[in-house]
Structure 1
Amino acid sequence: MPDLSALIPPHEPAEDTLATVGGMALDAIPLIGPVAGRVLDLALATRERERRNEFDTAIVGALQRLAQRADETLTVADVVNSDEFLATLARTRRAAAETASTSKRQRLARAAVSALDPNAPSRAERESNLRLITELDDLHIWLLAYFADPRAWLDHHGLLSTYKNVASGNADGPLKHALSSLGIPLSGSVEAALSDLERLDLANVSPRVLRPTVTADAMFQSRVSTRGRAFLAYLDEGNPAEADPPAASPI
């Protein structure tokens, strides 16, 4: 497959701004009336183009990676003639424009390209995974990776020594320790994300499971379901123990 990167229109946010304000100093313009509307329109349009460019770049990267490992040669005709890929691309492009998360846009791009992968899961599984990618944010994904093996995540990040001589405790203790190391409180947003993982049958992380006192081994056991593990494998983001912390205020 030829390099498709050259087909992506370049994004020039500086040119957008200059064309709109005519070289005037932004801090000299009161944000009132019609000016406020123009500023919002400019911000939305500029950010939309940035996200579109970033998403298209991710799509091309995913296509090129697939072409390098596909059992058969992947051609441009395969791409443009695939109704399933084009339909999925349209859906994921809309979702990519509505998220502030770069990681989520990359997941959406990989999900779109998986429609061309002969070794990908069934269409029903891909549809299910795409719905999850669209619904879940970076915090959900990090929590799922953490609960795949809490001991491994804590050990990889140098936090396991705290529990060296602990004989019992509750499972949300290590989670609070992990979150604290990332500067994230165990707040309502975290609890809501845990509830989502439970509701979607991705992990067994309800308060009734995390808060009772259990043995040390039970504190660190995996709480990710079979569906959750399949989803993590589909995301293909590396060893869950090495999962990056979620970005601030993911959308």
Structure 2
Amino acid sequence: MANETNSASSTAAPLLQVRGLRKAFGAVRATDGVDLALQKGEIHALIGPNGAGKSTLIAQLCGELQPDAGSIVLGGEDVTALAAFARARKGLSRSFQITELCPDYTVLENVVLSLLLTTGRAFQAWSNPRHDPTLTASAARWLGEVGLDDRAGIHVRDLAHGEKRQLELAVALARSPRLLLLDEPMAGMGAEESARMTALLNGLKRRYTILLVEHDMDAVFALADRITVLVYGKTIFTGTPDEVRSHPEVRAAYLGEEAC
């Protein structure tokens, strides 16, 4: 049974409330009655072994998959039936396991594109957003936020892997999200790049509400206010990092003795 412990002991309504979320593919229950609550301003990590249902859960939260049952409430509004683009307009932004950037555009132009999606504008022959000083100044600020201000004119294809993940974060932040879903932001990174990303995300604490899906346990325990453990589509425990480390069922199912 999940233990929905709120380390801040807040009585405020969660920014995100998931109840009884279910999704089956034939006989396989990818999510099996998932409950999840994120408080405003927290970093909440979602962990679990491969095949636990994490990607399916994230896809349902984003609107890429419709659940078979259950509800998703964002900011007090039921968004269960909304399409992905509609949820994005309500402040839900996502980064992916594999970077989804425009490789032939510059770093700055990728953030400008994100800003255009937020405002509903589009590229126009008579009004090139690359030359819009308001847009480019705003994009430059977001690059500074993630430590890429000196890479603005570089084409994305020429960036290192860790820099691409930093840019993806800037693209997501440029949409001014209420809720930021980060799907394995450390994937494919070396130790130095992971440490840099961990420090970057730590700087976003309390300023953004973040659901972090990550296999790097050092990063998870360094960043998360609370952690939910998903196994075989079910949430088996939610608690603080210390509570998760010491929970026998979590240790048996996922962490192992060496992580505790």
Fold agreement, TM-score > 0.5: no
Structure of higher CA gyration radius: 1
Higher strand share: 2
Q: Greater relative contact order: 1 or 2 (C-alpha under 8 angstroms, separation 6 or more)?
A: 2
Give the TM-score of the pair, scaled to structure 1.
0.29
Task: Tell me which protein shows more helix as a share of its residues.
Answer: 1
TM-score, length of structure 2 as denominator length: 0.28
